[in-house]
């Protein structure tokens, strides 16, 4: 676990995995909490296309949110992960004390799997 | 008062000092872990900081040296307006 | 900086790429020569039972498309009159031979196919001489 | 023993991915129109691809990360998005050209028109990806790929004038129509240094769990695999130069290329060319489709891996499914496969800086790579490659306009 870390190099855009190693997206955003003149600290991490769009251009985010209102699979545009959930930070990925399947990060994966993939033969090898 | 700002949106923003002179662009933010929290220690500015994020020691790659990244301790950076970060002192006082 | 680098690159390439009408005519002749050589080889390999019937027919269709295109290029070009006439003449012979080859293949008439091969060879050599005169 | 097996498979995969429709089209045209004079551009492209493949493999061994994964993490989403979108378009075009190659080969074998095979081929490739594991794919396409050796046998059989062949290995100015000469030279380089190669190869290294102990294996695979693929391509140039050039056949259409092996193999030459073309394109099409799925999954952090069932990585599997369907449309609407291939190779040559520049920076991350980082030699070589790719990027599109007949 890093004591001292470079938030851009070691956190931002880094691969996230859950408690048992399932990949669950990347850190798309990091939110700092500023309280008057106290030392700023990392409040939570954010995942989601809306967060990515915001990084490109504010209008990109508006356009994406408008799209989401008409048709979306994910309940929330941004998934919030409290920084306390961070179990381990390595060069390869960042491990969270979560179960990916329950988080919004997997909404798309579940929706596509249940509505499209599992309807196609051979999508699950016969264990 | 409590304020939340997006660190990733700070990247690339130009920092001006009290005399409105350009210090450089924010390239990275260094934090230190204490318990479950990560506290921001300093903001790294300038091209050397960009190479530092890429893990490239400046001398080796092209023979040019970009010198050391400019480090701004957290107390010295005013983020009340995240679009326009401002240094709370003059540029020279940093080194 | 990159933008005007690109612009001058395009101008440079386009400049040396500018073809005079005669050059375009020779290129048309080259295409026609290439396709008649192709049909000659295709006919010969068919006679040697090295290629299936359907392949020869498909190649003839592809060649006809190319001959038509070359015909249009020659008709539109402002190149020298006698050069255009010479190429057009050979094109007509090649297209006729292609039609005969198709019929010969369908009737499995080996002598006719051999005849077509010879006519393609002739067209090719005439167009080749036009090409050599240019150099 | 496991390393020896890996070495063999690695080499075969490299051959499978290297020799594809792009090589067939550009090499046969080069041989038919300029005989041996363009062999130098294949030699140059091979040296560059060996270096870049070795580096992408070394990076994957040292960090367990494939290229798309590393580029997004290193340079951030903003920088990566533009190359990502451009490379997605290129991959669709290349996949369309590969499918075109398979369709044309089936057209040669059966006589039925091209369009008939577009969807069946896409479905066949999809079934293969949907059911097979990574190693099954790697082994089968590679072993089948050996059939392309027939070009080498033909080239040797025709025993070309070695003096002229060696002379061709050095750059020289063309006698006639220089724009077409330089256009084919650029297309050859674009065909060899295909972006999907590096994304597929580095992802494959992660799929096969290569670690730092595999760095020597990686170097051998890069040199022998790419070198081997290059020998087959040069053989194709030679056969076209000996068989087609003297007859004045310029290869504006794949039908003309189909004749090139008949002189050496009178009975089987026609079928051999068709089967080699089909298998080379199947191997490459699978690698391109997988490379797209890897790139999407690693960019957005999804679960990925050919060894997982489609149900376990739905988004990864759907990327290659949609890619295959989309790419098959080119043939469905009747695009000429040879023209699509040449257009794709020229555009592919134009985007190489997006591959070379990140590679130069990634391989100098000493904190991450430590001793696996680039030494002075590979840095100088990579810097030279970056300059070459920028030159290619500037000239490829204008050349396509002027010389792309």
**Residue C108 CB contacts under 8 Å (≥ 6 apart), including other chains:** none
Q: Is the pLDDT of residue A2 over 70?
A: no
Would you say C34 and D29 are in contact if contact means Cβ atoms under 8 Å apart? Answer: no
pLDDT of residue D119: 95
- Inter-chain touch D364–B61, beta carbons under 8 Å: yes
Cβ-in-10-Å burial (0-12, 13-18, 19+) of C7 comes to exposed
Residue range B60-67: mean pLDDT, rounded? 62
Closest-CA residue in chain D for A53?
D78
Q: Is the pLDDT of residue D224 over 70?
A: yes
Question: What are the CA-CA distances from residue D312 to residues A20, A93, D280, D298 (Å)?
Answer: 14, 20, 30, 15
CATH topology for C20-134 is 1.20.120
Would you say B69 and B44 are in contact if contact means Cβ atoms under 8 Å apart? Answer: yes
Which of B13, B29, B61 to mutate: most D Cβ within 10 Å?
B61
Instruction: Give the whole-angstrom CA distance, residue B12 versus residue D284.
Output: 40
Length of chain D, in residues: 405
Cβ-in-10-Å burial (0-12, 13-18, 19+) of B95 comes to exposed
Question: What are the CA-CA distances from residue C23 to residues C77, D42, D246, D248, D402 (Å)?
Answer: 10, 29, 22, 18, 14
- Cα B6 from chain centroid? 14
User: Cα dihedral sign for D193, D196, D200, D203?
Assistant: positive
A62 lies within 8 A of chain D by CB: no
pLDDT bin (cut points 50, 70, 90) of residue D361 is very high
Tokens, residue C86: 């010479």
- The CA distance from B21 to the nearest CA of chain A, in Å, is 24
Instruction: Give the whole-angstrom CA distance, residue D334 versus residue A99.
Output: 48
- Cα B30 from chain centroid? 9
- Inter-chain touch D399–C13, beta carbons under 8 Å: yes
So where are chain C's domains?
20-134
User: How does pLDDT run across A88-116, given as a tens digit for each residue?
Assistant: 999 889 999 988 887 887 888 888 888 88
The helix-helix angle for A49-56 and A58-70 (nearest 10°) equals: 150
pLDDT of residue D85: 95
ipTM confidence score: 0.87
Nearest-5° Cα angle at C112, C108 to C114: 105
CA atoms within 13 A on the CB side of D96: 26
Would you say D128 and D310 are in contact if contact means Cβ atoms under 8 Å apart? Answer: no
Length of chain C, in residues: 135
Would you say D318 and D129 are in contact if contact means Cβ atoms under 8 Å apart? Answer: no
Place of tokens 């923003």: B13
The chain B residues in contact with chain A (CB within 8 A) are 1-9, 11, 27-33, 36-41, 44, 52-53, 55, 74-75, 79
Instruction: Give the whole-angstrom CA distance, residue D324 versus residue D122.
Output: 6
Greater confidence (D1 vs B89) lies with B89
pLDDT of residue D312: 83
User: How does pLDDT run across A8-38, given as a tens digit for each residue?
Assistant: 999 999 999 999 888 999 999 999 999 888 9
- Inter-chain touch A113–D314, beta carbons under 8 Å: yes
Strands B77-78 and A94-96: unpaired
Q: Is the pLDDT of residue C92 over 90?
A: yes
CA atoms within 13 A on the CB side of D146: 9
Closest-CA residue in chain B for D74?
B54
**Residue D390 CB contacts under 8 Å (≥ 6 apart), including other chains:** D353
Cβ-in-10-Å burial (0-12, 13-18, 19+) of A54 comes to buried
Question: What are the CA-CA distances from residue D187 to residues A113, D151, D179, D182, D339 (Å)?
Answer: 40, 20, 12, 8, 12
B90 lies within 8 A of chain D by CB: no
Residue range A74-99: mean pLDDT, rounded? 88
Any contact of B with D, at least 3 CB pairs below 8 A? yes
> How many residue pairs from chains B and D have C-beta atoms closer than 8 A?
21
pLDDT of residue B22: 92
**Residue D36 CB contacts under 8 Å (≥ 6 apart), including other chains:** D160, D164, D165, D167, D168, D237, D238, D241
CA-nearest of D349, D339, D383, D343 to D363 is D383
DSSP class of A78: S
- Inter-chain touch D364–B56, beta carbons under 8 Å: yes
Tokens, residue D159: 């025993």
- Inter-chain touch D361–B56, beta carbons under 8 Å: yes
Instruction: Give the whole-angstrom CA distance, residue C71 versus residue C87.
Output: 9
**Residue B14 CB contacts under 8 Å (≥ 6 apart), including other chains:** B22, B23, B24, B25, B85
Would you say D226 and D48 are in contact if contact means Cβ atoms under 8 Å apart? Answer: no
Tokens, residue D188: 């050859």
Q: Indicate the residue of D111, D249, D403 with minimum beta-carbon distance to C17.
A: D403
Tokens, residue A84: 């306390």
- The subunits that touch chain D, with at least 3 C-beta pairs less than 8 Å apart, are A, B, C
CB within 8 Å of chain D, chain C residues 23-82:
27, 30-31, 33-35, 37-38, 40-42, 45, 48, 50-55, 57-59, 62, 66
pLDDT bin (cut points 50, 70, 90) of residue D262 is very high
- Inter-chain touch B7–A39, beta carbons under 8 Å: no
Would you say C134 and C86 are in contact if contact means Cβ atoms under 8 Å apart? Answer: no
A7 lies within 8 A of chain D by CB: no
- The CA distance from C29 to the nearest CA of chain D, in Å, is 12
* Residue D121 CB neighbour total at 10 angstroms: 26
Residue range C96-107: mean pLDDT, rounded? 94
Which of C9, C32, C133 to mutate: most D Cβ within 10 Å?
C9
Would you say D302 and D316 are in contact if contact means Cβ atoms under 8 Å apart? Answer: yes
Instruction: Give the whole-angstrom CA distance, residue A73 versus residue D315.
Output: 14
Q: Indicate the residue of A25, A122, A125 with minimum beta-carbon distance to D301.
A: A25
Q: Is the pLDDT of residue A127 over 50?
A: no
pLDDT of residue D42: 97
Residue A30, SS3? strand
Average pLDDT of chain D to the nearest whole number: 91
D250 lies within 8 A of chain A by CB: no
- The CA distance from A119 to the nearest CA of chain B, in Å, is 40
* Residue B59 CB neighbour total at 10 angstroms: 10
Closest-CA residue in chain A for D313?
A109
Contacts of C35 in chain D (CB under 8 A): 252
- Inter-chain touch B61–D368, beta carbons under 8 Å: no
Any contact of A with C, at least 3 CB pairs below 8 A? no
Tokens, residue D169: 């290995």
Would you say A23 and D304 are in contact if contact means Cβ atoms under 8 Å apart? Answer: yes
A91 lies within 8 A of chain B by CB: no
User: How does pLDDT run across D362-394, given as a tens digit for each residue?
Assistant: 999 988 898 899 988 999 999 999 999 999 999
D133 lies within 8 A of chain B by CB: no
Instruction: Give the whole-angstrom CA distance, residue D338 versus residue D344.
Output: 10
pLDDT bin (cut points 50, 70, 90) of residue A6 is very high
B60 lies within 8 A of chain D by CB: yes
D308 lies within 8 A of chain A by CB: no
> How many residue pairs from chains A and D have C-beta atoms closer than 8 A?
70
CB within 8 Å of chain A, chain D residues 76-115:
76-78, 81
- Inter-chain touch B9–A54, beta carbons under 8 Å: yes
In chain D, what percentage of residues exceed pLDDT 70?
99
């Amino acid at each position: 676990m890093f004591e001292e870390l470079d938030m851009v190099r070691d956190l931002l855009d880094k691969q996230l995995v859950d408690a048992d190693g399932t990949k669950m997206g990347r850190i798309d955003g990091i939110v700092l909490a500023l309280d008057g003149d106290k030392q700023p600290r990392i409040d939570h991490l954010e995942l989601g296309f809306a967060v990515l769009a915001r990084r490109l251009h504010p209008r990109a985010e508006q356009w994406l949110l408008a799209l989401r209102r008409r048709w979306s699979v994910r309940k929330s545009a941004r998934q919030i992960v409290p920084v306390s959930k961070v179990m381990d930070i390595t060069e390869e990925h960042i491990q969270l004390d979560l179960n990916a399947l329950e988080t919004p990060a997997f909404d798309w994966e579940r929706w596509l799997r249940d509505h499209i993939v599992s309807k196609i033969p051979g999508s699950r090898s016969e264990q | 008062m409590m304020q939340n700002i997006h660190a990733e949106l700070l990247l690339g923003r130009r920092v001006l000092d009290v005399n409105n002179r350009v210090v450089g662009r924010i390239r990275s933010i260094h934090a230190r872990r204490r318990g479950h929290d990560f506290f921001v220690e300093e903001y790294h500015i300038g091209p050397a900081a960009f190479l530092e994020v890429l893990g490239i020691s400046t001398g080796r790659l092209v023979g040019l040296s970009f010198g050391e990244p400019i480090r701004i301790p957290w107390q010295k950076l005013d983020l009340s307006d995240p679009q326009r970060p401002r240094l709370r002192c003059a540029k020279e006082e940093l080194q | 900086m990159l933008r005007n680098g690109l612009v001058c690159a395009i101008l440079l390439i386009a400049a040396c790429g500018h073809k005079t009408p005669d050059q375009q005519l020779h290129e048309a002749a080259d295409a026609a020569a290439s396709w008649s050589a192709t049909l000659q080889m295709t006919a010969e390999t068919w006679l040697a039972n090295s290629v299936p019937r359907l392949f020869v027919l498909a190649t003839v269709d592809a060649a006809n498309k190319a001959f038509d295109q070359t015909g249009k290029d020659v008709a539109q070009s402002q190149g020298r009159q006698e050069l255009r006439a010479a190429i057009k003449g050979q094109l007509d012979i090649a297209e006729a031979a292609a039609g005969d080859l198709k019929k010969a293949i369908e009737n499995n008439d080996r002598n006719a196919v051999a005849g077509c091969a010879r006519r393609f060879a002739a067209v090719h050599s005439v167009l080749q001489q036009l090409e050599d005169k240019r150099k | 023993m496991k390393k020896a097996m890996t070495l063999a498979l690695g080499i075969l995969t490299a051959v499978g991915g290297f020799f594809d429709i792009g090589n067939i089209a550009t090499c046969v045209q080069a041989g038919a129109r300029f005989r041996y004079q363009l062999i130098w551009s294949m030699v140059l492209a091979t040296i560059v691809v060996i270096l870049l493949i070795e580096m992408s493999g070394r990076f994957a061994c040292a960090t367990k990360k494939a290229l798309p994964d590393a580029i997004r993490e290193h340079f951030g989403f903003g920088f990566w998005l533009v190359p990502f979108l451009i490379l997605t378009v290129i991959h669709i075009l290349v996949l369309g050209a590969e499918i075109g190659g398979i369709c044309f080969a089936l057209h040669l074998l059966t006589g039925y028109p091209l369009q008939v095979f577009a969807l069946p081929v896409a479905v066949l490739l999809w079934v293969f990806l949907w059911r097979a594991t990574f190693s099954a794919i790697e082994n089968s396409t590679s072993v089948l790929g050996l059939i392309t050796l027939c070009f080498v046998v033909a080239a040797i059989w025709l025993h070309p004038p070695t003096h002229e062949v060696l002379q061709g290995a050095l750059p020289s100015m063309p006698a006639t129509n220089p724009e077409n000469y330089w256009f084919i030279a650029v297309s050859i380089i674009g065909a060899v240094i295909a972006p999907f190669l590096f994304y597929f190869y580095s992802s494959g290294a992660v799929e096969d769990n290569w670690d730092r102990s595999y760095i020597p294996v990686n170097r051998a695979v890069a040199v022998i695999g790419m070198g081997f693929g290059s020998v087959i391509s040069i053989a194709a140039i030679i056969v076209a130069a000996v068989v087609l050039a003297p007859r004045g056949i310029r290869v504006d259409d794949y039908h003309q290329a189909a004749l090139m092996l008949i002189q050496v193999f009178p009975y089987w030459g026609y079928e051999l060319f068709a089967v080699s073309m089909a298998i080379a394109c199947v191997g490459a099409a699978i690698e391109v489709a997988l490379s797209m799925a890897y790139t999407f999954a690693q960019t957005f952090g999804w679960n990925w891996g050919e060894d997982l069932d489609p149900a376990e990585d739905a988004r990864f599997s759907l990327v290659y499914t949609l890619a295959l369907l989309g790419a098959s449309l080119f043939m469905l609407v009747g695009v000429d496969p040879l023209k699509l291939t040449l257009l794709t190779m020229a555009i592919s040559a134009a985007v190489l800086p997006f591959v070379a520049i990140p590679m130069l920076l990634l391989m100098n991350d000493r904190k991450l790579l430590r001793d696996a980082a680039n030494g002075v030699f590979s840095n100088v070589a990579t810097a030279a490659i970056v300059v070459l790719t920028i030159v290619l990027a500037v000239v490829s599109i204008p050349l396509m306009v002027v010389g792309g007949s």
